[in-house]
Amino acid sequence: MLLSRPLQVGGARAQVIRPWTAPSDRPLLVAISGGIGSGKTTFARILAPFAGAYADADELAREVVMPGSEGLHALVQHFGSDILNEDGTLNRAHLAGLIFHDPAQRAAVEQITHPLIEQRARALLSEAAPGTLALYDVPLIRNLQDAEPFDVVIMVAAPVDERVDRLVARGLAREDAQRRIDAQISDKVRRELASMWVENTGTQEDLETLARAVAMTWLLPARK
């Protein structure tokens, strides 16, 4: 596709910054990413009905550590049974406390869970027929290696103070919200990886309307 004029709905704006070529023999692989509190999940949820296949990395992250799963067994082998609730499910809050300030332990969790998540995502996205969208809602597009498998990488961004406010509204302490944002890659890095940049500074309705416009204007016509 060619560079297009930005789309804007109220306080939400989308811009193509790196054009893509739509494949003719397979689905268009689209990743939607962005920092915590950016509105990434809302944008992905609105695009999902336009897709031939859809995968949500956060949902898959829960799926691969269900009781009896390979992922949960490996986590217990590494961290011990203290990470389990009485009913045998993963105590996510306890595990998060163990790894939040320990990059090595966080990397250990990622080495266990990420391959399982990716395997399940590939299986789901493979169900999309040629000429449709295969859409992956994935927070961890952090480098070129993460971005390379996708035809289109949509990054959703928002000012940090607005992201903090959204996280506080979800029940996080303001200091915890800021720490989580600070632990992620910067918008500068995200922009270097993006095919499309979405600024979410308006209402949720603005973002939802913009997502539909992006689908109809850029993603669906790109396959014709």
Residues 45 and 65 occupy one common structural domain? no
Containing structural domain, residue 120: 58-127
Q: What pLDDT was estimated at residue 139?
A: 87
Q: Which amino acid is at 91?
A: N
Q: The pTM is what?
A: 0.90
173-221: pLDDT as tens digits: 999 899 889 989 999 999 999 999 999 999 999 999 999 999 999 998 6
Q: How far is CA 58 from the centre of its chain?
A: 8
| CATH number reported for the structural domain that contains residue 159 in this entry | 3.40.50.300
Domain end among 96, 127, 158: 127
Q: What pLDDT was estimated at residue 140?
A: 83
Q: What pLDDT was estimated at residue 183?
A: 85
Domain end among 93, 127, 161: 127
Residues 140 and 220 occupy one common structural domain? yes
How many domains in the chain?
2
Residues 46 and 68 occupy one common structural domain? no
| Residue 199 falls inside a structural domain | yes
| Residue 1 falls inside a structural domain | no
Q: What pLDDT was estimated at residue 1?
A: 64
| Residue 4 falls inside a structural domain | no
Q: What is the mean pLDDT of residues 112-136?
A: 95
Residues 122 and 221 occupy one common structural domain? no
| Residue 2 falls inside a structural domain | no
Residues 20 and 99 occupy one common structural domain? no
Listed in order, strand segments (DSSP E) in the chain are 7-9, 12-16, 28-34, 53-56, 133-137, 152-157, 196-200
Whether the predicted pLDDT of 132 surpasses 60: yes
Q: What pLDDT was estimated at residue 224?
A: 43
Mean pLDDT, rounded, of the chain: 93
Residues 207 and 162 occupy one common structural domain? yes
Q: What pLDDT was estimated at residue 187?
A: 93
53-90: pLDDT as tens digits: 999 999 999 999 999 999 999 999 999 999 999 999 99
The H helix count followed by the E strand count for the chain is 10, 7
Task: Tell me how many degrees the CA angle 35-63-66 measures, rounded to the nearest 5.
Answer: 125
Residues 221 and 152 occupy one common structural domain? yes
Residues 134 and 213 occupy one common structural domain? yes
Q: What pLDDT was estimated at residue 77?
A: 96
Q: What pLDDT was estimated at residue 223?
A: 46
Of the pLDDT bands very low, low, confident and very high (cuts 50, 70, 90), residue 2 is low
Q: Report d(CA 43, CA 197) in Å as an integer.
A: 12
90-111: pLDDT as tens digits: 999 899 889 877 889 999 999 9
Residues 180 and 212 occupy one common structural domain? yes
